[in-house]
Amino acid sequence: MTVRQTQGALELQASEAVIVHAASRILAALIRNGRLTEGNHTALLRFAVRMACELAHEADRSVQSDAEPAARSEAGAGAGIGVGENDILDLLD
Where do the structural domains in the chain lie, given as residue ranges?
13-64
Buried b (16+ CB within 10 A) or exposed e, 23-51: beebbeebeeeeebeeeeeeebbebbbeb
In single-letter form, the type of residue at position 18 comes to V
pLDDT single digits (tens) 34-86: 999 989 999 999 999 999 999 999 999 998 877 777 755 544 444 444 555 56
pTM listed for this prediction: 0.64
Where helices occur in the chain by DSSP H, the ranges are 14-32, 41-62, 85-92
